[in-house]
Amino acid sequence: MIPKDKVIVSIRSKSGSEDVYKSKGDQQLSMRIVVLVNGNSASASELLTGALKDYGIATIVGTQTFGKGIVQSYFHLSDGKGWAKMTTDAYYTPNGVCIQGIGITPDIVVDLPEDLKDTSIDMLDPAKDTQLQAAIAVFSQQAKAPETAMR
């Protein structure tokens, strides 16, 4: 999905060191991609969404993601009687944005109706799922557009 040797995510420590993770594959998809996200989209799903959005590979539809953009590490206490969990690093998208506490804003913001927000996704009627319907509409519009019109 992401062209070879492109940054997918950077992890920066509080000490200033940085690890950069790049794509390895060289196969690009020839199809259009629409990604559905909401406030339950967190951590790794946000990293992939951020990379797809930053490179203009996918259209992101839904609501703001959770904003889980930190790495927490466990350290064994010196007395041997426990562990401590501390935030040690932060994730950054290819464009250098830290999503912690902010999340990712979709290209097309579509909320669920209030009466459906607490409904489990497997119980949602697809016809009433406004986010799914918006994603299908975007995909349908993109499928009709000439390739040169895509970003």
Summarised one tens digit per residue, pLDDT across range 1-17 is: 898 999 999 999 988 99
Tokens of 92: 């950054």
Q: What is the pLDDT of residue 14?
A: 87
> In this predicted model, which residue has the larger pLDDT, 112 or 150?
112
Domains along the chain? 7-149 (3.90.226.10)
pLDDT digits (tens, 9 = 90+) for 43-78: 999 999 999 999 999 999 999 999 999 999 999 999
Specify the pLDDT at position 27: 76
**Alpha carbon of residue 74 to chain centroid:** 25
Distance CA 109, CA 92 (A): 22
Contact predicate 63/80, CB 8 Å:
no
Average pLDDT, the chain: 91
Q: Which residues are catalytic?
A: 43, 54, 68
pTM of the model: 0.86
